[in-house]
Structure 1
Amino acid sequence: MTTAPTELANVRYLIDDVRAAVDFYTTHLGFTVALDAAPAFADVRRGPLRLLLSGPASSGARATPDDLATAGRNRIHLVVDDLDAEIDRLRAAGLTFRSDLVSGPGGRQILLADPAGNLVELFQPAQRAGAAPATP
């Protein structure tokens, strides 16, 4: 294995429109652009997450068999301090959510989709007295 535990976590999302995806992640979710090679590819980052946005002309997308190229049930998971405020902010920006708000023992979550349909989970951990925030 060549990836060191201290390196960024890399996730590749296959997308239809690199520009629209870069705008979505940077405008609404606080990512910054590390590399913009639109229309084929972009590399956006938030903390230790490196999100590789691969358009139809990128090598990552071309290597994917057609029957596997659709968005799946996997998603990136972003922890937020105030989920209600994030929902209000994103709705005010014209975004729609793909799920209802769900509460469970570990916290609350809601799903939205990027312009290509890839899922993003916004998660607020449950606060427990004397305990560190939970993660799912």
Structure 2
Amino acid sequence: MTRLEHVNVTVPDATATAAILCDLLNWKIRWEGAALNDGWTVHVGTGDSYLALYTPKEAPSKGAPRHISTAALNHIGIVVDDLEAIEKKVRAAGYTPHSHADYEPGRRFYFEGPDGVEYEMVCYD
């Protein structure tokens, strides 16, 4: 058996992004500390999987649009138990859900996070 343990993403403020994800998804900070080239990393998630949020010492630059750049991150998909409850939390936090869809194998919506990363919330009823 194999499974995905983590994804490492560069964001402008790892601490701020981690706080938002903890609030929206009831995740926990698993670890945080100094990282590559005097940067800062926060691992946020559950007991068996997480996002490694990395902020370099120098402000990260914006690259080409994510959908047309090789090796770019298009979005991060997160499975949730209650899609409606998560959407309410996302809206209350000031983000705008979009691209709602209901197709096999689940229902979903997307939102642009504070870090320029698009997040997909999906529920497999």
Query: What residue in structure 2 maps to residue 12 of structure 1?
Result: 8
State the shift of 1:70 in Å.
6.8
Aligned residues: 116
Deviations 1:59-105 (A, max 9, x none): xx99xxx78687545322222222122212221232222x2311113
Identity %: 27
Q: Which runs of 5+ in 1 are unaligned?
A: 128-136
2:75 maps to amino acid: R
Query: What residue in structure 2 maps to residue 107 of structure 1?
Result: 106
Please say if residues 95 and 113 of structure 2, whose CA atoms lie closer than 8 Å, have aligned partners that are also in contact: no
Q: Secondary structure, in 3 states, of the residue corresponding to 2:57? A: coil
Confirm whether residue 81 of structure 1 aligns to residue 77 of structure 2: no
Relative to structure 1, the CA distance from residue 70 to residue 52 in structure 2 (aligned partners, 3 Å threshold; closer, same or farther) is: farther
Q: Which runs of 5+ in 2 are unaligned?
A: 67-71
Q: In structure 1, what is the Cα distance between the partners aligned to 2:51 and 2:64?
A: 17
Q: Secondary structure, in 3 states, of the residue corresponding to 2:123? A: strand
Task: Tell me the TM-score normalised to structure 2 length.
Answer: 0.73
2:16 maps to amino acid: A
Higher CA-based Rg: 1
Q: Identify, as 1 or 2, the structure richer in strand.
A: 2
Q: In structure 2, what is the Cα distance between the partners aligned to 1:67 and 1:18?
A: 16
Confirm whether residue 27 of structure 1 aligns to residue 23 of structure 2: yes
Q: Secondary structure, in 3 states, of the residue corresponding to 2:12? A: coil
Q: In structure 1, what is the Cα distance between the partners aligned to 2:13 and 2:85?
A: 28
